[in-house]
A = this chain, B = another copy of it.
Amino acid sequence: MALDDRKLDVLRAIVEDYVATQEPVGSKALVERHNLRVSPATVRNDMAVLEEEGYIRQPHTSAGRVPTDRGYRLFVDRLSRVKPLSPAERRAIERFMDHAVDLDDVVHRTVRLLAQLTRQVAIVQYPSLSRSTVRHLELVPLSTTRLMLVMIADTGRVDQRLVDLPGTLDADDVADLRRLINEKLAGCALTDTPPLVEALLDEVAPVHRPAMSALSTVLLETLVERKEERIALAGTANLARGLLDFQGTLRPILEALEEEVVLLKLFGEVEPSMTRVLIGDENEIEDLRTTSVVSTGYGPGTIVVGGMGVLGPTRMDYPGTIATVRAVARYVGDLLAQS
């Protein structure tokens, strides 16, 4: 059954009021606050239809109506326009982000900024190794039998690992190895490196085979296997604000948020410059079924190196949140493009 325009208006009004007041909204209040040009009784009839279709529901008989997940979905898809950010917000983003000194700082600032602007929980994925390329590999001798391998990715991310050598190497040997691995690997996408690393063994002088072998093992681990993608989180205190939203469910939500693996799922398939909205039930993760997630990919230009987003009660200001997430993601993308 098709919903006529007025019914959609009613739904929109219900969502907006409920989001604002957090209280079930009744027909009378509705006509007063929005200038629907009809009487409460008419609105009630519309509401009955909307309820039948599953877009709203009553917490109990003779209470006002509350949007269902399905109702929010319709609202997000068809009834709302993304609100442009206020100049103040734009300025806040610039002011806050422009002081970032390195990647770590960028990520930290981003996540805190998002949490602050949206007043929800913010989640930012560090630029993912698997989507970046090697900028430089550094070998630092710690002793004659021990190296530290430092990998610098083009996103600015730095990873380091210890390498225990089977034999000893002097400074010149290390320099040779350093030159060699950079020659072969610098500039490659991380995902392309494994065969190149294998090939390295043949390039090296026989004396250095064992060392190279130890090194390449660690290289592979660092470059590929170590998928362990990092996540930054902020604003969990905002969950406690809406205590009404999460009656007894706060605990499992906090627990889910501490599991990095779980969070990474949220960004599973972030698409370039696409904002994704996951509402309540739609969430794969059981414990997050009472929440909504607004997420997007980010990165320099059109490339996506990671995801960021916010998580809050299904009762959230979708247009505002979507706008904020997009704006921040774009800004961080530009920042990464510069460096």
Contact = CB atoms under 8 A, between A and B. Distances in A.
B258 A101 contact: no
Interface stretch (A91-99, A234-242, A308-316, A320-328): A234-242
A136 interface: yes
A148 interface: yes
Nearest to A175: B175
28 contacts: A101-B162, A101-B221, A102-B161, A102-B162, A103-B160, A135-B140, A135-B142, A136-B140, A136-B148, A138-B138, A138-B140, A140-B152, A150-B150, A150-B152, A150-B158, A156-B162, A158-B158, A162-B339, A234-B258, A235-B258, A236-B236, A236-B254, A236-B258, A237-B251, A237-B257, A237-B258, A239-B254, A240-B250
Contacts of A136: 140, 142, 148
Interface in A210-228: 221
A240 B254 contact: yes
A255 interface: yes
Contacts of A252: 237
Given A138-B150, A258-B234, A160 B251 contact: no
B148 A152 contact: yes
A93 to B, nearest CB: 19
A117 to B, nearest CB: 15
Contacts of A251: 237, 240-241
A149 to B, nearest CB: 10
A102 B160 contact: yes
Give the top 7 A-B pairs by smallest Cβ distance, nearest first: A237-B254, A240-B251, A237-B255, A136-B140, A240-B250, A158-B160, A138-B138
Which among A135, A140, A240, A258 has the greatest number of chain B C-beta atoms within 10 A? A240
Contacts of A148: 136, 152
A193 B233 CA distance: 34
Nearest to A112: B258
Contacts of A250: 240
A164 to B, nearest CB: 10
A154 to B, nearest CB: 9
A101 B102 CA distance: 24
A101 B162 CA distance: 8
A257 B135 CA distance: 36
